Structure 1
Amino acid sequence: METTRPLGRSGIEVSALGFGCWAIGGEWQAADGQPLGWGKVDDEESVRAVRRALDLGVTFFDTADTYGAGHSERVLGRALGKRRADVVVATKWGNVFDEETRTLTGGDDSPAYLRRALTASLRRLGTDYVDLYQFHLSDADPDQGALLRDACEELVREGLIRAYAWSTDDPARAAVFAEGPHCAAVQHALNVLTDAPAMLTLCEEAGLASVNRSPLAMGLLSGKRRDRQPLEAGDIRSRPPAWLRGFGDGSGADPEWLARVDALRDVLTSEGRTPAQGALAWLWARSTRTVPIPGFRSVAQAEENAGALEKGALTEAQLAEVDRLLGR
């Protein structure tokens, strides 16, 4: 398997594995106190992990202005430092937040806010351009999406961004952005437990990259959760929102979902892979357009995820076996 993949039709090449920077944003919350982060983090370890990923060939890093209410962008910018030109940085806009209290306060899908948000992200990242700028409000009105698509085209012409995308699980919304010449990707949920054939079809037809969030199903596919282990209070999975599947009432992983993971263990751990590496290998085999972006909080996690590149994709026979085991 090639260790790099094109970022859609943008002409940008990225490592076949990206790193998602949600977790390194640390703790933040919704206005009602709902945790939106992954718990406490060590910023120094986060910086070391990013730099280790760079050394291991990872060139694509995905964050969002709202992760940690700006903190993830600051940590990523600091970690990249003088190596910024060597990587592809993706961030997102659309959510409104209070940096001081680390609280999500709402959303804004106006073109005016788009520009303000980009200016703030550039400052936090310590850069003068963003490679891939992504709209973060997944269920926004498609007509408004068309206005934002056109606004993104203006930002491309001004040299402030190189390409753009919509982070959404709805192919119809993604198709609105895909009409723009500099739309390069769709960011959407995809993992071995939750397939997305309609979105992958759109990516193929429109020439877009499929950037995969939740590639490890929020940790279920890491192989480290074998029972209903308690989660720390600042972890979003401890009070899961409606869209977060597999963690039920927040007391731990659902036994039904863990049973599915166990059923796949032998296939995913073939050729000496860890369960997480096997889950990433499934994504690469699923489509030549996929670029999974697993999260990380430590050097050890960075090394494990990056190690999946050496193992490559699952075979067609293994893909078929996964489908058989999951009854699909």
Structure 2
Amino acid sequence: MQQRQLGSNGPVVSALGLGCMGMSDFYSTASDEKEAIATLHRALELGITLLDTADMYGPHTNEQLLGKALKGKRDSVFLATKFGIVRDPADPSARGVNSKPAYIRRSVEGSLQRLGVETIDLYYQHRVDPQVPIEEVVGTMADLITEGKIRYIGLSEASVATLERAHKVHPITALQTEYSLWTRDAEQGQLAACERLGIGFVAYSPLGRGFLTGAIQRSEDLAEDDFRRGNPRFQGENFARNLALVEKVSELARHKGVAPSQLALAWVMAQGEHIVPIPGTKRRRYLEENAAAAEITLSAQELAAIEAVFPLAGVAGARYTQVGMEFING
């Protein structure tokens, strides 16, 4: 596995990481812990060091899963988790944000315990809290570095202005934002800002929540409790229009002799050396397929061909529901 540096002064991690959310939540409540743990172990065997989770996945159960799987393997892992999204036990679909210093401190202690580690390598603010100045948030996180509880600071779905303000308080190691062929909002400023400030960019959902793999042909292909059924891009006319785009990408992949998912991941990695995608999966066979994408090189002609069939504003529908979009680019 190739490696990339997160930011100009940040850590070196695998060029492709693993998003662990789907092992425990959102894509279905049905889970296979044995296969999930085997997938995590296989990731380490393949040289994938960056593992990404959050306290709200489950909630808490994903961190517990990683804690169980990584016992005795701490030195092989660069562990990233997040705080700041609050879920209502009475209404699993409800969301809130909280980045008050006392909450951050409670959150980090909980994550450390569930993960079974003494230090979290990369700690993200999961969503920007408009009620707490980013300077206060980053100041608290910087104190956690001094105390040895975290090593590096990250933000997720933060605007360029917020990122710049945060970076003045303490160096930000990574910005995590959705980025793929069908979500290119980051090209409107965030990618350039990260390169300018020397901040790594971690691309979540680089396979368009699975849509870019070509495996999803109908909404019925998703489990009844899969949150994507409520996602605007997976519904009605949007679904049909987006599927047509994916079919064109699949055709280019066949011509190159690779899987559509591999072509999509190679495209993300080709957008900049400071970009590290973290495709999620809970199965070893998909993990191995994704990992192989790190070895794929796309020529200028191939990149142009992809752009031609999947233009910047080609996707139909918002990437979250209206409520979810309120927490984006904060």
Tell whether the structures are fold-level matches, with TM greater than 0.5.
yes
Closer, same or farther in 2 for the Cα pair 1:98/1:84, shift >3 Å? farther
Q: Distance in 2 between matches of 1:25 and 1:192?
A: 25
In the other structure, the counterpart of 2:318 is none
Residue 281 in structure 1 maps to residue 247 in structure 2:
no
Closer, same or farther in 2 for the Cα pair 1:49/1:327, shift >3 Å? closer
5+ unaligned residues in a row in structure 2: which ranges? 313-330
Q: Distance in 1 between matches of 2:307 and 2:172?
A: 32
- Quote the offset at 1:253 in angstroms: 7.3
Aligned residue for 1:133, secondary structure, equals: strand
Work out whether residues 219 and 229 of structure 2, in 8 Å CA contact, stay in contact via their aligned partners in 1. Answer: no
Per-residue CA deviation, residues 265-313 of structure 1 (Å, 9 max, x unaligned), is: 233445432111111100111111111111111111221111222x334
In the other structure, the counterpart of 2:80 is 90
In the other structure, the counterpart of 1:6 is 5
Per-residue CA deviation, residues 189-215 of structure 1 (Å, 9 max, x unaligned), is: 110122221111011101111100110
Q: Distance in 2 between matches of 1:101 and 1:325?
A: 40
2:214 to 208, 215, 223: 223
Q: Distance in 2 between matches of 1:232 and 1:60?
A: 28
Q: How many residues are paired up? A: 310
- Quote the offset at 1:318 in angstroms: 1.6
Work out whether residues 263 and 293 of structure 2, in 8 Å CA contact, stay in contact via their aligned partners in 1. Answer: yes
In the other structure, the counterpart of 2:233 is 246
Which range is displaced more, 268-277 or 38-47?
Answer: 268-277
Closer, same or farther in 2 for the Cα pair 1:100/1:118, shift >3 Å? farther
- Quote the offset at 1:41 in angstroms: 1.0
Work out whether residues 93 and 136 of structure 1, in 8 Å CA contact, stay in contact via their aligned partners in 2. Answer: yes
- Quote the offset at 1:142 in angstroms: 8.2
Q: Distance in 2 between matches of 1:9 and 1:149?
A: 19
In the other structure, the counterpart of 1:205 is 196
Closer, same or farther in 2 for the Cα pair 1:277/1:108, shift >3 Å? same
Closer, same or farther in 2 for the Cα pair 1:120/1:10, shift >3 Å? farther
1:315 to 280, 290, 299: 299
Work out whether residues 130 and 160 of structure 1, in 8 Å CA contact, stay in contact via their aligned partners in 2. Answer: yes
5+ unaligned residues in a row in structure 1: which ranges? 27-35
TM-score calculated relative to the size of structure 2: 0.87
In the other structure, the counterpart of 2:159 is 170
Work out whether residues 83 and 125 of structure 2, in 8 Å CA contact, stay in contact via their aligned partners in 1. Answer: yes
Per-residue CA deviation, residues 49-98 of structure 1 (Å, 9 max, x unaligned), is: 00011101100001000001101101112111111122111000012347
- Within 5 Å, give how 1:118-133 maps onto structure 2: 118-133=108-123
